[in-house]
Homo-oligomer: A and B are copies of this chain.
Amino acid sequence: MRDGGAEDRGPQGRGPSGRTGRRLGPSTTRAAISTAALHEFAASGYEGASVRSIGRLAGVDPALIAYFFGSKRGLFDEVTRLPIEAPQVVSLVLDGERAAVGRRLARVVLETLADARNRAAMLALLRSASHDRETATLIRLAVVGDVLMPITTALDVADAELRAELAMAQISGFIFARHIIEVDAMGASDLDRLTTALGGILQHCLTAPVGN
């Protein structure tokens, strides 16, 4: 993974054809940059990662990033796009008994986190939101607006908006604690246990009486 997903290719490397110069066939450089960028953005956030560090990790000249993706921002946007359809998540969470809605939401979150690529994208977004209002707005609209608000509205509870926001707080705090602060017990717990714990809290956020 350290070599960025591209085949080994030093500055003087030569392809299977034995010729020097550009490789025959489709270039793998774009994918190498993409993979390296995901790692760097996930590890350091948007500002922390540099075009140069990404190029280094991908084993590629930094100038190629501008060539393929236009700019650092263009690369970030492309690489952090989650393959998640909000309406699909909403119906998946709502479909079933009301008492397990928190658990189903927790399962979606943890299953998404289990995939290395998705986890990297989510970490990149979370880390970047701290410094980048654009990313913060994206989270507010995409997570609260498109997923959680529709869920709380459909559940027909009081304070739908506040509940959706509290659920978002718990989900982002969970990822923060587990993957950024790297607390011990969360790291050591298996998926079932975490699903139960997070599911219970989310169930409380979404449906428990909250007023006063």
A77 close to B (CB within 8 Å): no
- Tell me if B193 and A140 are in contact (CB < 8 A): no
Copies of chain A in the complex: 2
Q: How large is the interface on A (under 10, 10 to 19, 20 to 34, 35 or more residues)?
A: 35 or more
Contacts of A178 in B (CB 8 A): 169
A188 to chain B, nearest CB (A): 9
Question: With a CB–CB cut-off of 8 A, which chain B residues contact A126?
Answer: 130
Contact of A161 (CB < 8 Å), options: B169, B185, B212? B185
| Secondary structure of the A contact surface, majority rule | helix
**Which residues of chain B have C-beta atoms less than 8 A from A198's C-beta?**
166
Return chain B residues, CB-CB under 8 Å to A181.
129, 136, 139-140, 144, 168, 172
> In the assembled complex, which residues on chain B have CB atoms less than 8 Å from the CB atom of A139?
181
CB distance from A121 to the nearest CB of B (A): 15
Residues from chain B with Cβ under 8 Å of A197 in the complex = 159, 162, 166, 210
CA gap between A140 and B182 in the complex, in Å:
8
With CB as the reference atom, state the residue of chain B lying closest to A127.
B130
Residue A47, interface by CB 8 Å: yes
- C-alpha gap A38/B159 in the complex (Å): 34
- State A91–B182 Cα separation when bound (angstroms): 26
Contact between A193 and B173 (Cβ–Cβ < 8 Å)?
no
Contact A189 B162 (CB under 8 A): yes
A5 within 8 A of B: no
B136 touches A182 (CB 8 A): yes
Q: Write out the residue numbers on chain B whose beta carbons fall within 8 Å of the beta carbon of A171.
A: 173
Asked if A176 CB lies within 8 Å of chain B CBs, one says: yes
Q: Which stretch of A6-14, A18-26, A59-67, A200-208 is in the interface? A: A200-208
Sorted from nearest, which 6 A-B pairs have the closest CB atoms? A173-B173, A169-B173, A169-B177, A161-B185, A162-B185, A165-B183
